[in-house]
A and B are shown apart, each in its own frame.
Chain A
Amino acid sequence: MSWNRRHFLAMTGMATGTALLPAPMVMAQARPRVVVIGGGTGGATVARYLAKDSEGALDVLLIEPTRRYYTCYFSNLYLGGFWDYDALGHGYANLASDNGVNVVHDWAIGVDRDARTVRLGGGGSVGYERLVVAPGIDFVEGSVPGWDVSSQHIMPHAYKAGSQTQLLKAQIEAMPEGGTFAMVAPPNPYRCPPGPYERVSMVAHLLKQSNPTAKILIVDPKESFSKQALFEEGWQKHYSGMITRIGPDFGGNNVEVRPQTMEIVIDGEAEKADVCNVIPAQKAGLIAADAGLTDDTGWAPVTPQDMRSRLDRNVFVLGDSSAQGDMPKSGFSANSQAKVAANVIRADLTGSRAFPARYSNTCWSLIADGDGVKVGASYEPSEDKISSVESFVSKTGEDTDLRRQTYEESIGWYKGITADVFGAPTA
C-alpha cells in the first residue's frame, strides 16, 4: 500500500473526530501509532521525521501542553539583548499542517506500559505501538536548601524557557546601581553544560551598559565547567573585575538560599543579592519516572544503538531525560538522537531501511557582542553507551573575525535547527 498526500489528508480528516475516543487499538490496527510525549527539540523532531518520512503510513500523535514552545537555547541571548523573546517561540502549526502530526495540547499524566496507553490530563487515553518519551528536565527537590518552585518567582531558575526567562530579565533590569546578581550553578549532569556561564556572560554584557558597577557572583559546586578557559578569558577581556566565581573549595558546594530576605548562605555565611538565579540539580522530566523508565540516577537509561529504553523495548527516550553516555544534554543532541530513533521506529513498524546510528553535537556560546565560541563532538554507539569519537573546541586567543564568524554561524544554526525541528515557516 502506498500513500500519497491526498489519501493521507483524507485519512487525517476522518480520524480527527475519533482519534481520542477510547478505542485506540482499532486505530492502531489501521495505522501503527507512535505517541510522542513532549514537544521540545527531541519530541518535535522525532514526530516530524516519523510523519514526514513515513508519508502517512504512521499515525504520529504528539502530546505537548504548551501551544508555543520557547527554546532554552538562545534564551541567554535574549537576556543579553541580542535576541527577541518572540524569536525564541515556535508553534506546532507546521507539524500539523505540513507533516500531518496529530498535535494534542494536553498533559501526559500516566503511562500504562502493559496496556500500551498514555493517559491524558484532559481525560481519556491514547494507545500506541511505540512510545517516545522526551519530557526534558525537572528539578531535584531539596537540592538547593531553601528553594522550591513556590519561590521561583523570587529566585527564578529560568532553566525552562518562557515566563521564567522574562522574569529573570526584568529582575536584572530592575537591579539597583552597583547591585549583585548571584547565580547558584547546578551540579553535573544538567541541561546545556555551557548554559550557566553563557548566561553570566550575557548578564555581564547587559549590566556593563546599564549598571557598570554591578557585580556578578557565581556559586558553583563543580571544580570545573564547560569551555572554562574560553569563558574566563572572555570575562577578563570584556568584563574585568565584574565576575567572581566561588567553587567547591570555598564553599560553592555548601549553599542554601533564603528567598524572603534575598540571601545566599555560602558555607554558613550569608550574602545579600539583588537578583538570585537558582539553577537546581536536575533529573529526567517527571513523566519518565512515573512511567517507570528511570533508574536511581533519576535519568532514563537507553541502549546506544537506537535510544530505546533499557526497561521497555516499545519505548524510546530522547534528549535531556535520557542517560545515554557521553553526549551532553543539549538541543543539538536531542535533535540528533531523535533522527536515529525515527529511523529505527520506522524500520520497526513499516519495514523501511534501517541505517546505523550516527550522533553529533555542537554547542555555540556567546561571550560578548560578536565574540562567539563553540565546542562539539561526534559520537557512535559502543557496547554500553554512546561514546565520543572526535571532538573540537574553540581556542583561546582566536582573532575577532573568527569569533564573529562563529557567532554568525550560531545564528545560522538556530534558524537551521528550529526549521528542522518545527518545520520551516511556509513560504
Chain B
Amino acid sequence: MNRSFRRARHMGVAAAAIILAVATQGRSDQQQGAAPIGDAEAGAAVFAEDCAACHQIGKGATDQVGPQLTGIFDRPAGAIEGFDYSPALQRMGADGLIWRLKTLDAFLANPVAMVSDTAMIFDGIADSPRRQDLLAFLRAHSAQPGDIPESAPTAKAILFELPPETAALVGDPEYGQYLAQECATCHQGDGSAEGIPAITGWPAPDFMAAMHAYKAKLRPHPVMQMMAGRLDDEQIAALAAYYEQIGE
C-alpha cells in the first residue's frame, strides 16, 4: 500500500531507499533525445489507484482534497489560486520550486524529500517504472512539448538512487551537535518556527532525504542549497542523528 498516514510512516519505516532524481553532470535532458517518459496508459491506472482519491485531472477537473493536476508540468508549486496549500508547500513555491520532470519525479518518489511537511498523505512510489508511467500520464495532461521547449518534457529523467550505504549511514550525534551550531543561527533549538521552519525531532531518513535534495539543488532555496552543498554524506548523517534526538 502506498497510501498511509505520515505519522505511521515516520515511526515504522527506517531508511527505506531515498530516491532522488538528479541530472547527470554535463548532460541535459535535451541531449537524451525524445525517449518517452513512460507508458501514459499504464500511468492512468496508477493515477486511478494512487491519486484519484484526492486529485482530479483532465478537462473540467476541480480541486478536491488535493488540487487539480491538469497542467501540472511547468506550474510553480502551490500556484492554484484559492487552494489551501500547506505552509510547507507554499514555502517551496515561493522559494521557486517548479513542477518539472525531475522535481515531480523526486516528489513522487518521496514527498517529504521535497516538501517536508506536505499535507499530502502519501508515501511515494518507490518503484521507478511505475512512477515514470504516472509521470507520462500527468505529462499528457499538461501543455504539449512544443509549447515548452526548455522543459524537455519527453526526455527521460536521469535517475539516481542515493546509494543504499549512504541512506543507511548512521551519523555521529556529537559531530552532529557541532555541525548543528551552524543551523542554530536560524533554526530555533526549541523547535519554534516563525519564518524559518523547525528542524528538531525530525526522523533521520527524512532529514537526510531533504538535505540531499537541497545538495542536489532539487529543492530550491539559496541558503539551504549552500549549507547542504558543503556537507558530505557523513556530515548529513551526523546532523540527522543529532536533530532526531532533540526536541522529541
Q: Which residues of A approach B to under 8 Å, CB–CB? A: 49, 332, 335-336, 339, 343, 353, 355, 358, 360, 362, 374, 376-378, 389-392, 401-402, 404-405, 408-413, 415-417, 419-420, 424, 427
Known contacts A377-B226, A378-B227, A411-B194; is-contact A424 B188 (Cβ 8 Å): yes
- A residues within 8 A CB of B229? 378, 390
- Contact (Cβ within 8 A) A389 B230: yes
Instruction: Determine if B184 is an interface residue (Cβ-Cβ < 8 Å).
Output: yes
Main secondary structure of the interface of A (DSSP, over half): helix
**B96 close to chain A: CB less than 8 A:** yes
Known A-B contacts A353-B174, A376-B223, A410-B195; the reply to A424 vs B179 at CB < 8 A is no
Interface 1/0s, chain B 202-246, versus A by CB < 8 A? Answer: 000000000000000000001101110110000000000000000
The CA of A274 and the CA of B182, in the complex, are separated in Å by: 43
Q: In chain B, what residue has the closest Cβ to A360?
A: B182
B59-112 contacts to A (CB < 8 Å): 91, 93-96
12 contacts between A and B (CB under 8 A): A336-B185, A358-B179, A358-B182, A376-B223, A390-B229, A391-B226, A392-B222, A392-B225, A402-B95, A405-B95, A413-B185, A419-B189
Residues of B in contact with A, size category = 20 to 34
Q: Could you tell me if B182 and A336 are in contact, using CB atoms closer than 8 angstroms?
A: yes
Known: A377-B226, A409-B196, A415-B188. 20 other contacts (CB 8 A): A332-B185, A343-B178, A355-B175, A358-B179, A376-B222, A378-B226, A390-B230, A392-B223, A392-B226, A402-B96, A404-B94, A405-B94, A409-B195, A412-B193, A413-B186, A416-B187, A416-B196, A419-B188, A420-B189, A424-B190
Q: State the Cβ distance, A371 to closest chain B Cβ, in Å.
A: 14
Once the chains bind, are B193 and A376 in contact (CB under 8 Å)?
A: no
The residue on A at minimum CB distance from B196 is A412
Chain B nearest CB, measured from A233 CB (Å)? 18
B93 CB to nearest A CB, Å:
8
CB distance from B25 to the nearest CB of A (A): 17
Which of B94, B174, B182, B196 is within 8 Å of A413, CB to CB?
B196
| Contact across chains for B194 and A417 when beta carbons are under 8 A apart | no
Q: Which residue of A lies closest to B178 (CB)?
A: A355
A335 and B190 alpha carbons, distance in the complex (Å): 18
* A420 in contact with B184 given A355-B178, A402-B95, A409-B196 (CB within 8 Å): yes
Which of chain A's residues has its CB closest to B235's CB?
A358
The answer on a CB contact under 8 Å between A412 and B186 is yes
Cβ distance B48 to chain A, nearest Cβ, rounded Å:
34
Which residues from chain A contact B93 at a C-beta distance below 8 Å? 401
Residues of A contacting B95 in the complex (Cβ-Cβ under 8 angstroms): 402, 405
Question: For the complex, what is the distance from the CA of A410 to the CA of B227, rounded to whole Å?
Answer: 17
**Chain B residues with CB under 8 A of A335:** 185
| Most chain B CB within a 10 A radius of its CB, from A339, A360, A374, A427 | A360
Instruction: Give the residues in chain B near A376, CB-CB below 8 Å.
Output: 222-223, 226
* B181 interface contact, C-beta 8 A: yes
Residue of A nearest to B174 (CB): A353
User: B230 contacts A378, CB within 8 Å?
Assistant: yes
Contact residues in A for B225 (Cβ distance below 8 Å): 392
Instruction: Report the nearest A residue to B231, measured CB to CB.
Output: A358
**Complex contact B181–A416 (CB within 8 A):** no
Which residue from B96, B175, B182 sits with its C-beta under 8 Å from A339? B182
Q: Which residues of B contact A362 (CB under 8 A)?
A: 186, 223
Chain A residues with Cβ under 8 A from B185's Cβ?
332, 335-336, 360, 413, 416-417, 420
Chain B residues within an 8 Å CB radius of A409: 195-196
CB of B41 to closest CB in A, whole Å: 37
Which of A353, A390, A411, A420 is the one whose CB lies under 8 Å from B195?
A: A411
* Bound-complex Cα distance A339 to B177 (A): 12
By the criterion CB–CB under 8 Å, are B223 and A374 in contact?
A: yes
A264 CB to closest chain B CB (Å) equals 38
Min Cβ gap A94→B in Å is: 13
A326: min CB distance to chain B, Å: 14
Q: Which residues of B contact A410 (CB under 8 A)?
A: 195
* Most A CB within 10 A of own CB, among B179, B186, B189, B194: B186
Residues of B within 8 A of A378 (CB): 226-227, 229-230
Contact partners of A49 in chain B: CB under 8 A: 181
* Alpha-carbon distance between A218 and B94 when the two chains are bound, in angstroms: 33
Complex contacts, B182 vs chain A, CB 8 Å = 336, 339, 358, 360
Instruction: Give A389 to B227 CA distance when docked, in angstroms.
Output: 11
Q: Please measure, in the bound complex, the distance between the C-alpha atom of A133 and the C-alpha atom of B96, giving whole angstroms.
A: 42
* A332 to B186 CA separation, bound complex (whole angstroms): 10
Interface residues of B in 12-52 (CB under 8 A from A): none
Q: How far is the CA of A396 from the CA of B222 in the complex (A)?
A: 15
| Chain B min CB distance to A395 (Å) | 10
Which of A353, A392, A424 is in CB contact (< 8 Å) with B189? A424
Q: How far is the CA of A210 from the CA of B192 in the complex (A)?
A: 36
Task: Report the Cα distance A411→B227, complex, angstroms.
Answer: 19
Q: Are B223 and A416 in contact (CB under 8 A)?
A: no
Enumerate the 9 nearest inter-chain pairs by beta-carbon distance, A residue then B residue, closest first. A412-B195, A412-B196, A392-B222, A408-B195, A405-B94, A339-B181, A401-B94, A355-B178, A416-B186
A280 to B193, CA, bound (A): 38
Evaluate whether A390 and B226 lie within 8 angstroms (CB atoms) in the complex, with A336-B185, A353-B174, A402-B94 already known: yes
* Residue among A391, A401, A410, A427 facing the most chain B CB atoms (10 A cut-off): A401
